Chain A
Amino acid sequence: MRLPARFSPELLRHVPRKPATVMYPFVPVEAPEGFRGKHEFDIEKCVGCGLCARDCPSGAIEMVPDERTKGKKRPVIHLDRCLFCAQCEESCPRGAIKLTKVYEMAGYKREEMVVTAP
């Protein structure tokens, strides 16, 4: 049946209800388990094979010389180029790269937008 303002009962039901808005920057929101956020890199596990850099679709991973790994190289992940597909996590044979739940990673400089070993 065609009614004008068919919708009004639902409307009035919402008057006493709490708004559904997520007050995000003021109230923190936690991402669910398995979220693909900022990377965590463990230099102890890295062998410097460079598989992560080879598979990275956006070229966000750069291999720089490092004496600590077997391949004498370690990855530097540029977050400003990363598209968070987690392919590096999947490609890494030793599990040295892990994506965490952190999603707040804005920075003022490009140098801040980097994940690597110290």
Chain B
Amino acid sequence: MSEERMFRIPVGPQHPALKEPINFTFIVDGERVVDVKPRIGYNHRGIEKLMESKTYIQGLYLIERICGICSAAHQGCYAQNIEEAAGIEAPPRGVYLRTLIWELERIHSHLLWVGVAYHEIGFDTLFMYVWRDRERVMDILEMISGNRVNYAMNTIGGVRRDVTPEIVDNALKALDYLEERTKYYKKVTEEDDSILARTVNVGILKTEDAKRLCAVGPTARASGLKVDVRRDDPYGAYDELDFDVVVYDTCDLTARVLVRIDEVLESIKMCRQILQNLPSGPVRVKFKRKVPEGESISKVEAPRGEDLHYVKANGTEKPERYKVRAPTLANIPSVCEMLKGGYIADIPIVFAGIDPCIACTDRMLFIDVNTERKWMWTEEELRMYARKWYKKHLKEVVRERWKC
């Protein structure tokens, strides 16, 4: 059958299965998926451009809002990056607390994902249980930082709050509960027939494909690639912590679920180590608002994979250029590979398998809807375009803005 005559199913940008603004066109033959065409860019918010008009302090809270789930990963990466560019170093207690938030966030993100995965395969009961238990880690985070999602914990030169002994006690108690529950979920995932029926040998991404398509994070680790920024290029307090990089080599969805569940257990182990061996001293050093001219790069292992930040400073209070490469973008080619040859019924769970975060992904890709032409712009071109566009449309924009 020629491709034109095959059945096309559009999925997204609004679809009950993909809670993310992305569009896939699936070409299907009966229940089988023959080809996949992704289209991203629905959620472009111009954050990188906006960063250029914010001071480094203000940027902390803007960069945090790239993504709701891995807010601490982005913010911590940003703080680390600016610290390096400005040549200051966070005190050990600050670094430990920063790492604590990163790991607690990983627990909450992975548990959220495990719940979503159960929901995608129609196992709503486990979904409810996992999310109920996830509330415990959210409570710890709220206790430490003052908010459940956007922790605003990091600042340039350390962290903004210290923990009290009561918080440490409460957190350790909650971690015990979480460990017990997580072990139970691992057992269920390994043994329940209806879960295994939907995950074993589904969404295969072979090791060499994962390498070729540059998969990152748990997606890569479930395909047998041992990549983890925490181990490969230690930052924060990771070189002082004892943890294992979880790798599974079955390359299917079961591996992706188990990698994340095991990582939760590893994170719980790390959180215990941090809480029990917190160094004393201050949590932050002073930051003098201005960053000397220069460039810097910083990498963080976000819950979804490698998160890369780049800054170009020009000696003022504001960055000249800020660039973010979030992990999901790196995983989109992999997910297309996984979806091909599968069933329609497996689309949601396979797509969810990379733990997608489109809010993180959409940055600088331009798509002309009419011609389907895609292109990338350099900064200079974008600036020229913006200037031209504003010259032409300024009046309308101003009118629009002042109308209400």
In the docked arrangement, what's the CA distance between A36 and B142, Å?
9
How distant is the Cα of A2 from the Cα of B150 in the complex, in angstroms?
A: 40
Asked whether A7 and B188 contact (CB < 8 A) given A2-B196, A57-B54, A87-B57, the answer is yes
- Contact of B188 with A6 in the complex, beta carbons under 8 Å: yes
A6-B191 CB under 8 A given contacts A35-B146, A55-B58, A57-B62: yes
Residue B11, interface by CB 8 Å: no
Contact of B58 among A5, A6, A56, A86 (CB under 8 A): A56
Residues of A with C-beta under 8 A to B139: 32
B132 to A20, Cβ gap below 8 A? yes
Interface of B is mostly: helix
Residue of chain B at shortest CB distance from A55 = B57
Residue of B nearest to A2 (CB): B193
Chain B residues within 8 Å of A56, by CB: 58
Contact indicator A4/B143 (Cβ below 8 Å): no
Tell me which residues across on chain B come within 8 A of A4, comparing CB atoms: 192-194
The interface size bin for chain A is 20 to 34
A57 with B146: in contact, given A5-B193, A10-B184 (CB under 8 Å)?
A: no
Q: Is the CB of A6 within 8 A of B132?
A: no
Docked-complex contact B61 and A90, CB < 8 angstroms: no
Q: Please, which residue of chain B has its CB at the minimum distance from the CB of A11?
A: B125
Which residues 1-34 in A have Cβ within 8 Å of B in the complex? 1-7, 10-11, 20, 31-34
Q: Could you tell me the distance between the alpha carbons of A96 and B359 in the complex, rounded to whole angstroms?
A: 36
Does B160 count as interface, using CB distance less than 8 angstroms?
Answer: yes
The reply to whether the CB of A83 lies closer than 8 angstroms to some CB of chain B is yes
Q: Which residues of B contact A83 (CB under 8 A)?
A: 61, 65, 150
A103 to B139, CA, bound (A): 16
Which listed residue (B54, B125, B132, B191) contacts A3, Cβ 8 A? B191
Chain A proximity mask over B89-128: 1 for CB below 8 Å, otherwise 0: 0000000000000000000000000000000000001100
B123's nearest neighbour on chain A, judged by CB, is: A7
Binary contact readout A71-94 vs B (1 if CB under 8 angstroms, 0 otherwise): 000000000000111110011000
- Interface pairs (7), CB distance under 8 Å: A7-B192, A10-B184, A57-B58, A83-B61, A87-B58, A87-B60, A91-B57
Interface residues of B (CB under 8 A from A): 54-55, 57-62, 64-65, 125-126, 129, 132, 135, 139, 142-143, 146-147, 150, 152, 155, 160-161, 184, 188, 191-194, 196
